[in-house]
Structure 1
Amino acid sequence: MQRGRKSDGRRRVALAGALLAVGLLAGCASTPAPEERHPDDPWEGFNRRVFAFNEVVDRYALKPVAQGYRTVTPEPVQTGVGNFFSNLGELRTLLNSLLQGKPGNAGIAGARFVINTTVGIGGLWDFATHMEVTGREEDFGQTLGVWGVGEGPYLVLPFLGASTVRDTGALPVDVYSYPTTYIEDDPTRIGLTALRIVDTRAGLLDQEALIHGDRYSFIRDAYLQQRRFEVSDGEQGDDPFASDDFDFDDSDFDDADFAD
């Protein structure tokens, strides 16, 4: 996947307390019959309840804040914020590229970080992309996949959204390989984390229109396809989001709502 301004799809927030709220939603979604279950989603009943919880949080908290952020923040500033957080992610890509035996991609990630941190004024300007220094983004979930660890069942996490057992197990490494984790000043670290989450959500507002039909199934299938594409570096087929085969008419955009 080519890098420009990347949205970091895996938001790291504490999970404690959410499971209780999910339990209160137990009656809101029915469990599919065994013969109707998706082979990659054996826990669909539980996942749909968590999905419903996440939708409520998004609809009444995160999405309105993201919409307000987009409204009041000039587009160049939004681009700079996204570039800043993406630049910090280059260090994670460098580490995981080395763990996957991809020194070339590691070198590109290191070069991007140096170029954008210096010439790009702390990463606010993605000068490396203008120089055509681009590579593939890597995280520890992809590293585990390259090492042969199976993805396991699909799993929806409270607040964090779509995942798999493998990607969930990779979360601690991804958290500790992101530089803001090591900021000792609590208000600064929390403020940057909150800004990162809001900026990421604002970057997804336009993509909501692509979601049609059963939102849960659409997001699940898109997530699994995308992660398999990333783990295989595209060797199993074309990127599902770069294909002209996705053709939507206006009716597909009605009442579309992003949940994760």
Structure 2
Amino acid sequence: MTGRDEYYNRSKQEGYRARSAYKLKQLDAAANLFDAGDSVVDLGAAPGGWLQVAAEAVGESGTVVGVDRQRIRPLEADNVETVRGDMTEEATVDRLHEALGSAGVDVVVSDMAPNMTGEYSVDHARSVHLARQAFDVARDCLAPGGDFVVKVFDGPDLADLRSDIEESFEYVRSIRPDASRDSSSELYLVAKGYLTAPVAAGDELTVEISDEGREGDGIARVDGFTVFVPDAAVGEEVDVRIEDVKPRFAFAERLD
């Protein structure tokens, strides 16, 4: 039995709309994408296999919104909503924000793929273009610390795409699920820990210590963002260099 037959047959037996559902299951197992109660955006969601997996993973307390230019047949899950439209159009973006509300989402996933031409360089370039569109949506929708998953075909433009994504997340890894067909060049970039900090590693600035942390470090606020500074007392004004940035706080070292 081929890998294709295995996952196709399993999807039919287990009630998933597409064999690609197992790709998302494997990505979740590898990268711990979903928790109960999470909110998720699924780009390129038709026919709905990824919606099914995400809805199961986040449970009744979670929310999943799928977007696609194609019609998505309604799912039985009560925690799934769909938006039909093109994410490059402002009207579709507005409808997505209406469905999501004002709070940022926990995970954005994209299984979008271009219409295949059979010409490697063209298909690769188009897949990178779609991945960048999904990245724009992720930056617009994700809450601090959120995760992003996007499909792309391997090729010469992949390194630049990954580098750009790495600037906005704690780390990025490449994963090729077992459920991907052997003949496919597809892989998934999995970005963890969306960064919305007003500072970046290497920044040098002057801060005022306004509080003391549990471990005795000084705490400064930069546009409301927490920066931990060792060996600094409340009331001090110190010059620091940002060493490490997390979704909700950063670590700095004193320069004096």
Question: Aligning the two structures, in what range does the TM-score lie when normalised by the shorter sequence?
Answer: under 0.3
When you count helix as a share of all residues, which structure comes out higher? 1
TM-score, length basis structure 1: 0.26
When you count strand as a share of all residues, which structure comes out higher? 2
TM-score, length basis structure 2: 0.26
Larger radius of gyration: 2
